[in-house]
Every structure is written in C-alpha cells, then in structure tokens.
Amino acid sequence: MKLNSLLATLALSTALTLPGVAMARPVTLTTTLNNYGGDGAYLALYVTDASGAYVGSLWMAGGKSKYYEHLSDWYRATGGDTAQVNGITGASVGAGRRLEITLDLADALFDAGYTLHIDAAVEDMRDSPNEVAVPLVTDGAGTPVTGRRYIANFSYDM
Amino acid sequence: MIRTLHRWPGLLALALVTILSLSGAALSVFPVVERITAPQVETGLTVATLADRIQVVYPGVEQIRRSPSGRITAYWFDQGAPGAAVIDPATGAGVASADPNQTLRWLTNFHRSLFLGDGGRIAMAAGAAAMLVLSLSGAALVARRAGGWRHWFASLRGPFAGRLHVEIARIAVIGLVLSSTTALWMTASTFDLLPDGSVLPADPTDVSGEIGFALDQMATLLQTPVAELRELSFPYPGDATDVFTLKTDRGTGYLDQGTGALVAWADLTGWERVSETIYMLHTGQGAATLGLVLGMMALGVPAMGVTGVLIWLAGRRGRPRIRGNQPAGRAETIILVGSEGGSTWGFAATLHAALTAAGQGVHVGPMSGFAPERYARAERIILLAATYGDGAAPASAKGFLDRLNATDRAPDFPIAVLGFGDRSFPAYCAFAKDVTAAAKAKGWPELLPLDTIDRQSPQDFARWGRALGEMLGIPLDLAHQPVLPRTEQLTLVSRRNYGAEMQAGAAILRFALPSATPWQRLTGAGFARFQAGDLIGVLPQGSAVPRLYSLASGRRDGFVEIVVRKHPGGLASGQLTALEPGDTVRAFLRRNPGFHAGRGRTPLILIGAGTGLGPLAGFIRGNARHRPVHLFFGMRHADSDFFYGEEMPGWQAEGRLTRLVTAVSRGARRSYVQDALRADAAQVARLICDGARVMVCGGRDMATGVSDALAEILAPAGLTPAVLKAEGRYVEDVY
C-alpha cells in the first residue's frame, strides 16, 4: 500500500514535521502479520517521545472508529480522537497479509529518542497494545522486529 | 398501496432476506451452545478472587474477559509466548481453547457483509430494511384481511399458499421486526452514525508509583461480582505508572497497582447502554434463549418467500390479457373491475369476450379508474366487485366510492353490479352492496339488480350472464372456469335412491376411490387427501362448466360419496342421477377448509336441509371420538328424502350422533328446520354459549331462515350470528 507522500506530510501533525525543519526523507514502513486465524487486524502506528508522551500518529489500519478503543494505548494517549488519523486511515489488515506504507518523515524524528509503537486488535481475540515498540534510529533501518501476538515482523527502510 | 409496498420489496429482496435469515438462524445456535458449555461460576465469586486464581496459574496474565454468556477467557504471556484459554473460574486454570470458532467467524462475516466489506454491509443493511418494510406492510395486510388487529389470530380461509404465508407471518413477524430494526441500529453504530462510542475515564495523573498490591485485597475488585465483569486488563510488567483497567456492566475504571485504589471511573453512557441492549437482542449473546427463538422465527422467511412468490404468480395467472379492449371513450359497454387477488379479472375477460362476440364495443378497466365524463358512447356500465376483508374496497377499486360520491349527478346510462365473495365470510359481498347503495343514493338507473357470485361459482356467473343477455336482447353464454383443475375419472360403485316416485328423484352416489399416483400421495394432491365438507367439481358431458357438490365422505371412508337431487332440466344432476354402477364421470377435488368439522371436542350443531345433509352425515360418520353432535335436519317428506335415515339409529347407538331433530315441510304438520331450532331454543342457546360450533349446509333460503332463527335465539345472550361468523364458530356451505 503506497501512500501519497504529500498527503501524508500534510496530514501528519506538525509535531512530526518540526517547524522550520525542511529536511524530510521518504521512509517505508512494512508490517507483516502472522496467520493468527481471525478477522482483519486493526493497527495503529504512532510515535512517542523520549518521555513516553504521545507525539503523533503515522497510520491507522481499520476504518471503524468504534473499535479504536481496543487499540488501548493509542486510545488512551489520544482520547480516541479520530482527528489524529484523518486522511491517514486505511483498511484493516488480514491475517498473513502485509501492510506497506511510504511517508515523508522529518529527519529530526531519528536518533532523538523517539519510539514507534504499533497497537493491534482483532475482533473476538486479545487486544494487543504495544504489539511493537522500536526506537527510531538511523542504524535500525532495515532490521526486522517481531511483534508480540499478531505481527510476524516489522521494519522501516529509508 | 400497502400490497405494492409488500410485493416489490419482497420479490426484489427475496434472495437477500433468505440469506440473512438462514445465516441468522444458524448463528442463533452458537450463544446457546456457549451458554451450555461455558464453565459455571460459583455464586458470589468476586473479580478479586477470580483474578487472583488466574494469576496464580498464569503469572503473565494480561487480560481477563467475560463474555455475555458467562464464559471467561484469559490472555497471558509466558516467556514471551502469547497464550490464551477459556478458564474454569473454580480453579483459574484453562480448560479449552480460546481460538475463535472458524465456523462462527465465517457465518458472522457472511451474515453481516457477504465477505464484501463495507459494500456488503450496506447491502445486508438494505436487506434488513427490506425485511422491516415487508414485516410492517405484511402485518398491515394481515390485519386488514382478518378485519382488524383484534382478529390477528382469526382462522384463515383461502388457498393453501396464502394461508401458510399468513400462518407463518403472524407468528414470525415480531421476531423479524425485532431482528431487522436491531440490525439497522447495529449497522448505523458500525458506520459511526450514532453517538454510542465508549467513554473512558480521564488518564490518572496521580498514581502511587508503587507496584505489587495483592489482587485479592483490592477493594473495588472485592466488591465486583464476576457476573458484572466484562474485562480486566493488567498493567505492563515493570511500568509503575500503568494501572489496572476494569470494565463492568456499569462503566470503566482505573485501579492503582500500588494501592489498589480506584483512581478514575466513568459510567456507561445512555447511548452505550441502548446499543449494548440492542446488540444483545440481535445476537442472543447474553440472551441465548431469545436468540434461539428469533432464529427459529427467521427460519419462516424462506417458507414465506416461496409461498409469497406462489401467491404472486397465482395473482398474475388469474389476471388475463384482455384482447381487443376498446378505449373507454368508444365503448358501448364499460366493465369496471374491483379485484384484490386478481381472480375477478378472469370473469371480466370472459364477459368482455362474450359481449365482444355479440358485436358490442367493450372497455374493461379497474374500478379505481372510474371516470364517467370519459364514457362518451357508453350505454351501460357493469361493475364486477370483490370485497376485501371486513367489507373494504379491494385493491383495484380504491377511491371508487369517493369519486362516485363526489359527482354531482349519476350518469344517464344504467348500472349493473355483480358482487364476488365467499359466503363463509361475514361481510359477504359487502363492498358490492355499498357500491349499489351509493349508486341508488345518487339516483343512478339500474340495469340489473345486485347479484352475487359465491366462491367464483361458474354456475352463478352463467346464470347472471343469461339474465344480462335477456336484458340486452342478445344470447350471452358465459362459460368461465378460473383455472380448470385436472379431472379424474370416478366410477360409481353403488347408489341409493330416494323419492323417485315423487318426481323429485334424489340419490346417494358412492364412487370408488381413484388410484393416486405416488406424487399425489406424497403431496396430498387431488383425491389422495380429502375429508367430508370438501367439494368435488363434476364436469357434465356437453359443458365446460363444472358443478360443485359437497362430499359426504373422507379419504378414510375409502369411497367418494355425494348426495344429488335431480333438478328439472339440470344437466349435471340429470346425468349424475342417471348413473348406474360401473358408469363413470369426470371430476376434480376442490378443498373447502372453511367447512371442515375439525379436530377437538367442542360440540357441533349441524343444521341442514335436503341434499345439504351430505357433508353433515360425513362428519357424523367420521366422529369416532364421540364428540357431541346435534343434528337438525329438514326434509320435505320422511318417505322421499330422509337421506341416511337407515344409518341414523346406528350412529346414535355408537355415540357418533348425540341427538337428531327432524323437521318435515310437506306433511300433516309442516315444519322447517328453523322451526325445529326455535322449538329447541333454550338448549341451542346454551350449547352455543358454551362454545359449540354451528355448521349449516343447504339451500340459500334455508340458510337465511336459520340465520334469522339463530339471531332470535341468541339475542338474549347478547350474541349474533355475525359475531359467531367472525370467530369462525358459524360456518355455512350454501348453494
């Protein structure tokens, strides 16, 4: 799934595209789900700063906001505010399928203590907040990380 | 209007509502199974104890959930590997897999979206909307047909498909309305059209920073019974700022992991409660028995679909194309049709063809299109008017009376009204009578007095046609048979003669049972299944119009028996009374469910005269269970037409006939059957007040006389024959 990068840049909150910093680079986020034997998974991809505070959302896989409460960390951090994912929302991701998003991320997000989180939830199965938590560091690009329950591997490439 | 609203959504959405109802019925089983198989929780168990038990077994427990059925599931991590199981609350240990049931998952997705995502969800919601429209319009039709909402469960008459359709509908409609409205609500909720999202309490800012407070000491958990639990989420291991999240039937709260204190709480909103109740009503999760009942009701939908299509096809077949129909402005004869099911159009087509053959210019149209100013060349107008339900205008006559009453003066050309109906209904031809009265009130000249056709009788129609022909000075032969059923050959095996010497010969004719094909036996078609009170249509040689006779026997008797009197010049009765054993006639069976004795123990009052005794004698002969039966029988002369006179003493001795009262109209003491009723008024009234059912069979004049007599007899008790008819306790088979 390729995302119009202009749209992504516009849609991301200013926190991720720090004011006055024009430097940004395209980053591809690849999430592959394992065969967990359930319906499509809802995934929230978002970033927290060094203190663990919510900074902004990168992507929401899953269109029905009534189910967002099951992405419990994201939901508590944002208060379930759908404005956080306006324009960066896509379909839920089926078991065994892959979600690939490319967006322009500000250089300042890297090597500065920011962490990328993925919350996952599947209907009638366990909620899995913080399924993945990876620090955003330039060296970490291309290194796959395994999720706790639903995500077989996740990696970001620049 | 309502019928249109019922027919088209029904035909268009047939496939969709069938899929919805079948998958819904299948899904309704799961909550019951879950309810039965879920390990039971001991009464008084608190969340504190349960969570503690589970944590002992699974130290890495992250979340405990309780489904509405009471099933408890725990999710944990053990050395980095995720685990989940259905928990036995008595031990805290897993007893079954928590993996989703793949069949249930498949059915659920099929039921709500046909695996087509949001587009499929919208299509299924449209199916639910169609189901709702069908249920409501169908309920209105049932009420109209029965003569009001109070008669919702009134007994039904008419063709089998129509009766089955309504029988299922009036039970299932409640469930279908409930299932479809809740489905629409749930769809609206899914698409975020309702403000029923959950509200979480504000993030706790002030936590102790401690960890390790014992689960079984936490006050809130100790106060929460497991029956109220929905979900308990544990804090992340090692994160002292995180909290326990507790969701119950009342709301959501956060618990400090260092002190056990409740640090935040939010109640469920009203919208959430409503949505959850609706979810429960629709899915049966938390109300398994109700769900199963709704599922059973949903199973009626495919049956209603099939019978609905059959009704629609029958209506289409019954409405023939009229060849050479003249425009209203050029026709000399205007025929207007007021028809509900379409059968009256067939009569109109026959009349149109006969008049056209006689050189007339004829226009046929619906009564609702009544426009006298357009009938420039009209010399006469003929209305063929059926009646709907309790005397209402049939579908194609809507607005006729209003339009007639709104005209300044009636047209100059004369009018004839022919009513179509069923005498077993209390409001027999009521609409035709209303139309006649309205025309009289407007001073509209009359071409022919009001006449009526009982149960589409071809004889009645042919007789009326002859009267019309005489009036117009043209020979008019109206041979109309709505749908001529396949006839079978009946062979006479014996006959008993009555009164041949008095020039009014009559006979009890007994025919052999025709052999039924395996298909007939399976479906009960034709003579494979019949009972006393049903009719046979006999096709006399030299005529296409069948004559109907009431059956005096049922299939179980092993023969086909009728009582026939020879009418002077009567084609069918002449041929029948001339039959000798071994001779054959062609005949078909027509069911007459409105005139069956039925099962049960309620006493019967049978009233008949002449050959009308036939079906009544059949009831008595079949009364092996000694139901109380009182027979009032009127005859002309005991020597000439005391049909079944030989059997009566035996039937009385065997307990099949409780009491026999006879009235002889041509003898020393002239007495009619209604006189016999009056003489016995006290007992008749008492029997009827105690619930007895009245069945009358015979000539029209006799039936009128009986009805008048019963009206007198019942007046002191505050009952009328009309009330009894509406309750199905007073039925007539009149010819």
Confidence at residue B87, expressed as pLDDT on a 0 to 100 scale: 94
| Contacting residues of A for B75, CB less than 8 Å apart | 126
Q: Check if the beta carbon of residue A120 is closer than 8 Å to that of residue A103.
A: no
Where is mean pLDDT largest: B199-203, B318-322, B641-645? B641-645
CB atoms within 10 A of CB B558: 10
Nearest residue of B to residue A130, measured between CA atoms? B236
Looking at the partner chain, which of A38, A66, A80 has a beta carbon nearest the beta carbon of B100? Answer: A38
Dump strand ranges (E) for B67-135: 72-78, 81-88, 93-97
Do B84 and A126 count as a contact with CB atoms less than 8 A apart? yes
Q: Check if the beta carbon of residue B658 is closer than 8 Å to that of residue B629.
A: yes
Give bridge partners of residue B550 from the DSSP assignment: B535
For residue range B409-425, what is the model confidence (pLDDT) as tens digits?
Answer: 888 999 999 999 877 66
Query: Using 50, 70 and 90 to split pLDDT, how confident is the model at B109?
Result: very high
| Contacting residues of B for A148, CB less than 8 Å apart | 77, 80, 82
Question: Chain A, 5-64: which have a CB under 8 Å from a chain B CB?
Answer: 37-39, 63-64
Tell whether the torsion through CA atoms of B262, B264, B270 and B276 is positive or negative: negative
User: How far away is chain A from the Cα of B346, in angstroms, using its nearest Cα?
Assistant: 56
| Contacting residues of A for B112, CB less than 8 Å apart | none
Confidence at residue A7, expressed as pLDDT on a 0 to 100 scale: 36
Q: What are phi and psi of B639, to 5 degrees?
A: -85, -20
| CA–CA distance, B644 with B383 (Å, rounded to integer) | 43
B441 contact partners, CB below 8 Å, separation of at least 6: none
A99 contact partners, CB below 8 Å, separation of at least 6: A1, A29, A30, A31, A32, A33, A43, A59, A61, A90, A93
User: How far away is chain A from the Cα of B420, in angstroms, using its nearest Cα?
Assistant: 58
Confidence at residue B666, expressed as pLDDT on a 0 to 100 scale: 83
DSSP-assigned letter for residue B3: H
| Contacting residues of A for B80, CB less than 8 Å apart | 148
Percentage of chain B exceeding pLDDT 90: 47
| CA–CA distance, B55 with B78 (Å, rounded to integer) | 12
Do A38 and B196 count as a contact with CB atoms less than 8 A apart? no
Closest-CA residue to B426 (of B616, B609, B154): B154
Do B196 and A130 count as a contact with CB atoms less than 8 A apart? no
Q: What residue type is assigned to position B620 of the chain?
A: I
Query: Using 50, 70 and 90 to split pLDDT, how confident is the model at B617?
Result: very high
| Contacting residues of B for A64, CB less than 8 Å apart | 190-192
Does the pLDDT value for residue B168 go beyond 50?
A: yes
Nearest residue of B to residue A123, measured between CA atoms? B100
| Contacting residues of B for A91, CB less than 8 Å apart | 117
Instruction: Tell me the mean pLDDT in the region B580-595.
Output: 86
Query: Using 50, 70 and 90 to split pLDDT, how confident is the model at B701?
Result: confident
User: How far away is chain A from the Cα of B197, in angstroms, using its nearest Cα?
Assistant: 6
| Contacting residues of A for B77, CB less than 8 Å apart | 148
| CA–CA distance, B19 with B126 (Å, rounded to integer) | 13
Task: Report the DSSP pairing between strands A54-61 and A89-90.
Answer: parallel
Confidence at residue A13, expressed as pLDDT on a 0 to 100 scale: 45
CB atoms within 10 A of CB B691: 12
For residue range B681-692, what is the model confidence (pLDDT) as tens digits?
Answer: 899 999 998 889
The arrangement of strands across the sheet holding B251-256 comes to B93-97, B81-88, B72-78, B61-66, B229-233, B243-248, B251-256, B262-267
Percentage of chain B exceeding pLDDT 70: 95
Instruction: Tell me the mean pLDDT in the region B500-511.
Output: 77
What sections of B415-570 are H helices per DSSP?
A: 430-441, 458-472, 518-523
Q: What residue type is assigned to position B731 of the chain?
A: V
Query: Using 50, 70 and 90 to split pLDDT, how confident is the model at B292?
Result: very high
Residue B717: C-alpha distances to residues B5, B686, B713 (Å) = 43, 9, 8
Does the pLDDT value for residue A1 go beyond 50?
A: no
Which of B34, B62, B115, B247 is the mutation pick for testing A, counting most A CBs within 10 A? B62
User: How far away is chain B from the Cα of A91, in angstroms, using its nearest Cα?
Assistant: 10
Q: In this structure, which topology does domain B318-472 adopt according to CATH?
A: Rossmann fold (3.40.50)
B597-734 sits in which CATH class?
A: alpha beta
| Contacting residues of A for B63, CB less than 8 Å apart | 126-127
| CA–CA distance, B14 with A149 (Å, rounded to integer) | 42
Confidence at residue B622, expressed as pLDDT on a 0 to 100 scale: 92
Domain extents in chain B: 2-30+104-196+284-313, 318-472, 488-594, 597-734
Looking at the partner chain, which of B77, B102, B190 has a beta carbon nearest the beta carbon of A64? Answer: B190
The answer to whether A81 faces chain B, any CB pair under 8 Å, is no
Do A127 and B63 count as a contact with CB atoms less than 8 A apart? yes
Better pLDDT: B124 or B518: B124
Instruction: Tell me the mean pLDDT in the region B595-621.
Output: 91
| CA–CA distance, A72 with B472 (Å, rounded to integer) | 88
| Contacting residues of A for B203, CB less than 8 Å apart | 76
Which of A39, A54, A76 is the mutation pick for testing B, counting most B CBs within 10 A? A76
The answer to whether A97 faces chain B, any CB pair under 8 Å, is no
A102 contact partners, CB below 8 Å, separation of at least 6: A2, A3, A5, A26, A27, A28, A29
Does the pLDDT value for residue B576 go beyond 60?
A: yes
| Contacting residues of A for B99, CB less than 8 Å apart | 37
Q: Check if the beta carbon of residue B157 is closer than 8 Å to that of residue B424.
A: yes
End-to-end Cα distance, chain A: 16
Confidence at residue A5, expressed as pLDDT on a 0 to 100 scale: 39
DSSP H or E stretch at residue A152: strand A151-157
Do A69 and B197 count as a contact with CB atoms less than 8 A apart? yes
Dump strand ranges (E) for B326-460: 333-338, 362-366, 380-386, 415-421, 446-454
| CA–CA distance, B489 with B584 (Å, rounded to integer) | 6
CB pairs under 8 A between A and B: 47
Where is mean pLDDT largest: B397-406, B429-438, B523-532? B429-438
The pLDDT mean for chain B works out to: 87
Does the pLDDT value for residue A3 go beyond 50?
A: no
CATH 3.40.50.920 for domain B488-594: no
Looking at the partner chain, which of A39, A91, A127 has a beta carbon nearest the beta carbon of B105? Answer: A39
The answer to whether A79 faces chain B, any CB pair under 8 Å, is yes
| CA–CA distance, B393 with B420 (Å, rounded to integer) | 12
User: How far away is chain B from the Cα of A145, in angstroms, using its nearest Cα?
Assistant: 14
| Contacting residues of A for B254, CB less than 8 Å apart | none
Nearest residue of A to residue B79, measured between CA atoms? A148
Range scoring the smallest mean pLDDT among B204-208, B313-317, B455-459 = B313-317
Q: Say what the ipTM of the complex is.
A: 0.81
Query: Which listed CATH number (2.60.40, 1.20.950, 3.30.1490, 3.90.75) goes with A5-152?
Result: 2.60.40
The answer to whether A2 faces chain B, any CB pair under 8 Å, is no
Range scoring the smallest mean pLDDT among B143-147, B248-252, B448-452 = B143-147
Joined together, the tokens standing for residue B259 give: 């002190």
Do A66 and B189 count as a contact with CB atoms less than 8 A apart? yes
Q: What residue type is assigned to position B605 of the chain?
A: I
Do B200 and A124 count as a contact with CB atoms less than 8 A apart? no
Domains B318-472 and B488-594 share a fold: no
Query: Using 50, 70 and 90 to split pLDDT, how confident is the model at B728?
Result: confident
Residues of chain B with a CB closer than 8 angstroms to some CB in chain A: 62-63, 75, 77, 80, 82, 84, 99-100, 102, 105, 109, 117-118, 189-192, 196-198, 200, 203, 233, 236, 245
User: How far away is chain B from the Cα of A23, in angstroms, using its nearest Cα?
Assistant: 35
Nearest residue of A to residue B63, measured between CA atoms? A126
Do B203 and A124 count as a contact with CB atoms less than 8 A apart? no
| Contacting residues of A for B197, CB less than 8 Å apart | 65-66, 69, 80
Looking at the partner chain, which of A63, A64, A69 has a beta carbon nearest the beta carbon of B198? Answer: A69
| CA–CA distance, B330 with B83 (Å, rounded to integer) | 86
Confidence at residue A4, expressed as pLDDT on a 0 to 100 scale: 38
**Residue B387 CB-density burial (10 A; 0-12 exposed, 13-18 middle, 19+ buried):** buried
Instruction: Tell me the mean pLDDT in the region B457-465.
Output: 90
